[in-house]
Amino acid sequence: MVKVSVLVPVYNSEDFLHDTINSILTQTFEDFELILLNDGSTDGSEKVIESFSDSRIKYYKNERNLGISATRNRLMEMATGEYWAVMDNDDISLPQRFEKQVAFLDRNLDVAIVGTWIELFNRRSVKGFAARVRKFITNLGLVWCHPSEVTLKETLKANSCMHPTMMIRASVIKENNIKYNPALTPSEDYDLVRQVLLTGFRVCNIREVLFK
């Protein structure tokens, strides 16, 4: 069994997927499996995945498009790691993300999820004045600083732990039969945190930018 399973749902992300995968394969922490589950992409995402040759990569495809929540649930079923690292197919994990999150969970046995701060960026080609303004703002190096300790009250109000930064203690999810709820998409991540907090385990954030 590996220490960390990295769970990546893939859907039409050929423009970003190479950088996303590369950011995982170049982590300072190396004891992981990278599980990529293609949810019916119609672009060149599969070719990007197949361009990598690394024994830690495990690639699967849904027979049809299931949607993000069902795909995330399948990824959790496939995972073998003690911890699960969430990752989206158009984001970047900085090199020490896994190393620092694993150390945090190893030290804090009452923590089920640990996230990190993030820096916003935008590489999309955009058209229109409003879109260009949004791209300019997200490329200013703005940082989302979530609280060190996440409470249920905060979670019911707003996003208090950025989902793709999360590393999750797998045993808590399995023992409490926690799943993503497709009926709540695209807020399935808020509900996941809610379910975890109701078990009595803690949800925390590392006060450091380890993700873009």
Nearest CA to 150 out of 203, 208, 105, 209 is that of 203
Task: Look up residue 99 and give its two tokens.
Answer: 């190393």
Domains of the chain, CATH where assigned:
4-115+150-205 (3.90.550.10)
- pLDDT tens-place values along the chain, 212 residues long: 899 999 999 999 999 999 999 999 999 999 999 999 999 999 999 999 999 999 999 999 999 999 999 999 999 999 999 999 999 999 999 999 999 999 999 999 999 999 999 988 765 554 555 444 454 444 445 676 788 999 888 877 777 899 999 999 999 999 999 999 999 998 899 999 999 999 999 999 999 999 99
Q: 3-class DSSP state for residue 30?
A: coil
Cα–Cα distance between 113 and 165 in angstroms, integer?
A: 10
Cα–Cα distance between 80 and 4 in angstroms, integer?
A: 8
Residue with tokens 């995972």: 79
Q: 3-class DSSP state for residue 10?
A: strand
List of E strands, 53-187: 57-61, 83-86, 111-119, 143-144, 149-150, 167-169
- For the chain, give percent helix, strand, coil, nearest 5: 35, 25, 40
The residues with which 168 forms a beta bridge, in sequence order, are 84, 113
